[in-house]
A = this chain, B = another copy of it.
Amino acid sequence: MERLPLQHWKTVSTVDILEDLPWLKLSADHVVLPNGRHIEKFYRLHLPEYAVVVAVTADGLVVMERQYKHAVGEVTENLPAGYLETGESPVNAAKRELLEETGFEAPTWRCLGSFCVDGNRGCGRIHAFVASGARKVADPVEQDTEQLEIILKKPRDAFKLLVEGRIRTAGPALTLGLAFILPQSPLFPADMMG
């Protein structure tokens, strides 16, 4: 069977449906597919980009959080994370959120990758980071909308939370998983159950 090479879709026009920045923008693209088919309303969701951090202390502990997340509807184990501010680089957002939420700073940072949250609709981007040598330098900043507990976990226990499904949101689970498999990461190798 002959196959066409993979081609991009063509966006003919875009209609904005709702805009309430910085939280949300909903639009719809009229697209033409490589086979000539038209989809007149292909929804796109623009949500703010965010950074997620696996911070590992000099003692080798992972800085984690417990927090109620409204879309989950429950308290879940989590990682320091937050939206990028306007003009802010992903790594600076990661450093700021780590400091604000936990009071920790770290000298060594590595990006684990940046990912489109939803390949069809968009839904923002995740920027995943791992930091090593983290130490507590301040109290967490009290936040009006976030009530959280900071917990320091041995890598083995953080690993267990991940594989037992107790990290209920995709961005932190992805980031922690990557931190266990990237050879440059302080949590590598991931052979925790061995």
Distance in Å: Cβ of A25 to nearest Cβ of chain B: 11
**Closest beta carbon of chain B to A110's beta carbon, Å:** 11
Is the CB–CB distance between A37 and B145 below 8 Å? yes
The 8 Å CB contact of A45, one of B123, B148, B168, is: B123
Render A57-101 as a binary contact track against B, CB cut-off 8 A, 1 for contact. Answer: 000000000111111111110100000000000000000000000
CB proximity to B under 8 Å, residues A169-194: 169-171, 173-174, 177-178, 180-183, 189-194
> What residue of chain B has the Cβ atom nearest to residue A169's Cβ?
B119
CB-nearest residue of chain B to A142 = B1
Cβ contacts A1-21/B at 8 Å (1 or 0 each)? 101101111000000011010
Q: Which of B17, B18, B74, B170 contacts A171 (CB 8 A)?
A: B170
Chain B residue numbers with a CB within 8 Å of A124 are: 118
Q: Is A152 an interface residue (CB 8 A)?
A: no
Tell me whether B47 and A118 are in contact (CB under 8 A). Answer: yes
Cα–Cα, bound, A49→B106 (Å): 37
30 A-B pairs within 8 Å (CB atoms) are namely: A3-B147, A6-B66, A6-B68, A6-B75, A7-B68, A8-B74, A29-B70, A33-B145, A33-B147, A34-B147, A42-B70, A44-B70, A47-B121, A47-B123, A71-B118, A72-B116, A78-B119, A115-B167, A117-B170, A119-B169, A121-B123, A162-B181, A163-B181, A163-B183, A177-B178, A177-B180, A177-B181, A180-B181, A183-B193, A189-B191
